[in-house]
Structure 1
Amino acid sequence: MKIGNSPDGSASPPKAERPAARKPEAASTTDIVRQTAQAATSAPSAQVDISSAAKLAASAGADDGSFDAAKVARISKAISEGKFTVNANAIADKLVSNAQELLDSRVNKQH
Structure 2
Amino acid sequence: MSPARPAPTGLDVVFAALADPTRRAVVERLRLGPATMTELATPLAASLPALTKHLAVLQQAGLVATAKKGRQRYCMLTAAPLRDAAAWLAEYGAYWDERLDALTAYLKENP
- TM-score, normalization: structure 1? 0.28
More strand per residue: 2
More helix per residue: 2
- TM-score, normalization: structure 2? 0.28
Higher relative contact order (CA 8 A, sep 6+): 2
Pair member with larger Rg: 1
